[in-house]
Chain A
């Protein structure tokens, strides 16, 4: 069942087309990722879906509500975690949550129960009375996620959830996100330009220059690029080659190493190692990454270190002890 249904969504800023007629659907309970480099149109798409920006053309429904005509209904049904911190850092964690809950018209008794629930989920129960200004970047992000959940949205939007966070915090954050998916059966729509982060998604849309260039599961996308590569090195090259020919295994010799292209490297390796009698020095398995997928589809690489000036500033803002 589709919970998000996007039909020909377009956003133009003057002569510049940020998003050009994209269409896709997201299934209920899925973690759906938008992967692309900076400026590909990811945040613009989230802004349109969350009713912050009106689309230039096209429409979308979220949980059955049209983003162009039923804005308040859409707003009630979604939770949003922005790319930049959007907490009031002079209020305590609990006050931030209460403020949000009141604007969604959540009754006091319900709020008190849910507050416990969401704070527990993101491990911030013991910090609830502390002023947000004293929080680390990771704690702020977790609190924002808790805030985005307090009105029990059907869809949670995460815009670059781990930008400016250290790898350890990122890994933790993903624990929370996946826990949410399990426990709440929530649909999660996220954008990222981190390849490793996209791996957590059930399905990924790769977006480049405002258009979707591919949409599938991470595994299928990678499969589409090429086979897994097994590389063997040995001191007895001759013997190994002979043995491989005897076993009817196709290989290529590349500068003293032997390369074998297979569909399923993990399944192939154990049986290969059982069969071979020639002693090996090293064995390696390389699977195509989403980096390879992006390169294959666009002819360019997404690199994490290609962070724009704005990202660097963002990082500094998030980390700054205020």
Chain B
């Protein structure tokens, strides 16, 4: 009972902090829309000339949602390092609460915020000519949650290894950007060199993008086109994300316990 209450308390703090930071909400919404406008519009004509078989903006849209989930999830959990620098983490750590509950509360808070952000981006769908069938909303929500949970776990694990916020930049450059660009969000991964395919295969974002695209565009794009652009079945994607979540959240809890 105490365990659940601790998770709930930590989770609630994350949510309250998020709703107070208006600028942060706007800036995290701005990034995916910027990607969509710049890359989508810029490359739209190029791809229209080839036989890509799908509107490029529509192709990118699911990937952009996945990227947004990733940046929000990672940013929210890496804020733990911030807490450490400003002493708030110490205040939490001297309370008689299990470390694992603190780690889980953090992860679930970030998961909720990232999922919420992804849901907000769904309102763009009609603007891009994408129709989302009502029955696909539930699997979509589940997939968003899974991806957010997996990446929040990853974020917390990184945070527990970091000592100061000075390393934020390094993490962004060396981890977040490569994962962004090698996720299949910007171009299909079905015809890339082997090394790139190998990186994409261990990138959790790849599975999120792959699954989102199949579910989101299921009612809009031609079935054959979609099959040509996809790597795995949706259930395989979900399975990978679930397994990745378990490993990452587990690792984060262990790393947190050591502190």
Which A residues form the contact surface with B (CB < 8 A)? 50-52, 72-73, 75-76, 78, 80, 82, 84-91, 95, 99-100, 102-105, 131
Q: How far is the CB of A161 from chain B (nearest CB, A)?
A: 14
A82 to B87 CA separation, bound complex (whole angstroms): 8
Q: Is there contact, CB below 8 Å, between B96 and A104?
A: yes
Report yes or no: A80 in contact with B94, Cβ–Cβ below 8 A.
yes
A-B contact count (CB 8 A): 60
Q: Please give the distance in Å from B60's CB to the nearest CB on chain A.
A: 34
Please tell me if B92 contacts chain A, counting CB pairs below 8 Å: yes
Q: Which residues of A have CB within 8 Å of B95?
A: 75, 100, 103-104
Chain B positions within 8 Å of A86 at CB level: 86-88, 90-91
What are 18 inter-chain pairs, A to B, with CB distance below 8 A?
A52-B90, A52-B93, A73-B96, A75-B94, A75-B95, A84-B87, A86-B91, A88-B13, A90-B20, A91-B17, A99-B9, A99-B13, A100-B95, A102-B6, A102-B8, A102-B9, A103-B96, A105-B5
The 8 Å CB contact of B87, one of A78, A85, A99, A100, is A85
Cβ of B21 under 8 Å from chain A: yes
Contacts of B2 in A (CB 8 A): 105
Bound complex: CA A100 to CA B93 (Å)? 11
* Shortest Cβ gap from A238 to chain B (Å): 65
**A95: B residues at CB distance < 8 A:** 16
**Measured CA separation A76–B96 after assembly (Å):** 6
Indicate if the CB atoms of B94 and A50 lie closer than 8 Å: yes
User: Which residue of chain B has the shortest Cβ distance to A101 in the bound complex?
Assistant: B9
- Return chain A residues, CB-CB under 8 Å to B21: 90
Q: Name the contact of B97 in the complex, choosing from A82, A90, A103, A131 (C-beta under 8 A).
A: A103
Which residues on the B side are within 8 Å of A78 (C-beta)? 94
* Pairwise interchain contact A52-B16, C-beta atoms closer than 8 A: no
Complexed CA–CA distance, A90 and B16 (Å): 9
Chain A's closest residue to B90 (CB) is A86
Residues on A with C-beta less than 8 A from B16 are 90-91, 95
A16 CB to closest chain B CB (Å) equals: 19
Identify the B interface with A (CB < 8 A).
2, 5-6, 8-9, 13, 16-17, 20-21, 86-88, 90-97
Chain A, residue nearest B85 (CB): A84
Residues on A with C-beta less than 8 A from B94 are 50-52, 75, 78, 80
Report B70 CB to chain A, min CB distance, Å. Answer: 23
Are B90 and A75 interface neighbours, CB within 8 A?
no
Contact of B86 among A51, A72, A85, A104 (CB under 8 A): A85
Give the distance in Å from the alpha carbon of A87 to the alpha carbon of B21 in the complex: 17
Contact B88 A87 (CB under 8 A): yes
Residue of B6, B8, B91 near A100 (CB, 8 A) is B91
Closest beta carbon of chain A to B165's beta carbon, Å: 14
The CA of A9 and the CA of B94, in the complex, are separated in Å by: 20
Q: How far is the CA of A95 from the CA of B20 in the complex (A)?
A: 13
Q: Kindly list 7 other residue pairs between chains A and B, CB separation below 8 angstroms, not including A82-B90, A82-B91, A103-B92.
A: A51-B94, A82-B87, A85-B86, A86-B86, A86-B87, A87-B88, A105-B2
Bound-state Cα–Cα, A223 to B90, Å: 40
**Alpha-carbon separation in the docked complex, A84 to B85 (Å):** 10
Bound CA–CA A182/B151 (angstroms): 51
Once the chains bind, are A75 and B96 in contact (CB under 8 Å)?
A: yes
Query: Which residues does chain A contribute within 8 Å of B5, judged by CB atoms?
Result: 102, 105
Residues of A within 8 A of B6 (CB): 102-103
Closest to B9 in A: A102
Cα–Cα distance between A131 and B19 once the two chains are bound (Å): 13
Alpha-carbon distance A52/B92, docked complex (angstroms): 11
Tell me the smallest distance from the CB of A54 to a CB of chain B, in Å.
12
Instruction: Name the distance in Å between B85's Cβ and chain A's nearest Cβ.
Output: 9
List the B residue with the shortest CB-CB distance to A87: B88
Q: Which 9 A-B residue pairs are closest in the complex by CB-CB distance? A: A86-B87, A103-B95, A75-B96, A86-B91, A102-B9, A72-B96, A84-B87, A76-B96, A90-B17
Nearest-neighbor residue (CB-CB) of A50 within chain B:
B94
For residue A100, which residues in chain B have a CB less than 8 angstroms away from its CB? 91, 95
Q: Which residues of B contact A103 (CB under 8 A)?
A: 6, 9, 92, 95-97
Q: A91 to B13, Cβ gap below 8 A?
A: yes
Chain B residues near A52: list those with CB within 8 A: 90, 93-94
Q: What is the bound-complex CA distance between A52 and B99, given in angstroms?
A: 13
- Greatest chain B CB density within 10 A among A91, A102, A103, A105 is at A103
Which B residues are CB-close (under 8 A) to A104? 95-96
Q: Tell me the bound Cα distance from A199 to B181 in angstroms.
A: 63
Q: Determine the residue in chain A with the shortest Cβ distance to B97.
A: A103
Q: Which of B8, B21, B87, B93 has the most CB of A within 10 A?
A: B87
Smallest Cβ distance from A46 to chain B, in angstroms?
A: 11
Cα A78 to Cα B17 with chains together (Å): 28
The residue among A72, A76, A88 with the most chain B CB atoms within 10 A of its own CB is A88
Residues of B within 8 A of A90 (CB): 16-17, 20-21
Contacts of B96 in A (CB 8 A): 72-73, 75-76, 103-105
Complex Cα distance A78/B94, Å? Answer: 9
Q: Nearest A residue to B21 by beta-carbon distance?
A: A90
Name the residue of chain B whose CB is nearest to the CB of A98: B9
Bound complex: CA A48 to CA B13 (Å) = 28
